[in-house]
Amino acid sequence: MDDGAIRKRVLVSGLVQGVYFRDSCRRTALAEGVAGWVRNLPDGRVEAVFEGDADRVERLVRWAHTGPGHARVSGVAVADEPVEGLTGFTIR
């Protein structure tokens, strides 16, 4: 990670499970060169961590507001976190 790296934790609400949100998120993150992970939560939300270049991370955060075609996002909560130096992007 370079000095311009940032990390965001994103909680996405709405119809976001069962619509390929996690896989689409992983593919989008890899295409952008953003590290991190994504997982379903028991309450129906999706949680993701994006880490990398600030512009690329912000693009992923914007993407999370709509997600893949069948998703219906009703809310997105974003929190800044300390960079951990993650590599790759995984579905948990």
- Catalytic entry in 7, 22, 26, 56: 22
9 as an active site residue: the answer is no
8 Å CB contact between 86 and 36: yes
Q: Please check whether residue 73 is in contact with residue 67, taking contact to mean a CB–CB distance below 8 angstroms.
A: yes
C-alpha distances out from residue 38 to 3, 4, 6, 60, Å: 24, 22, 17, 12
Active-site annotation holder among 9, 27, 39, 40: 40
Is 40 tagged catalytic? yes
Residues marked active site are found at: 22, 40
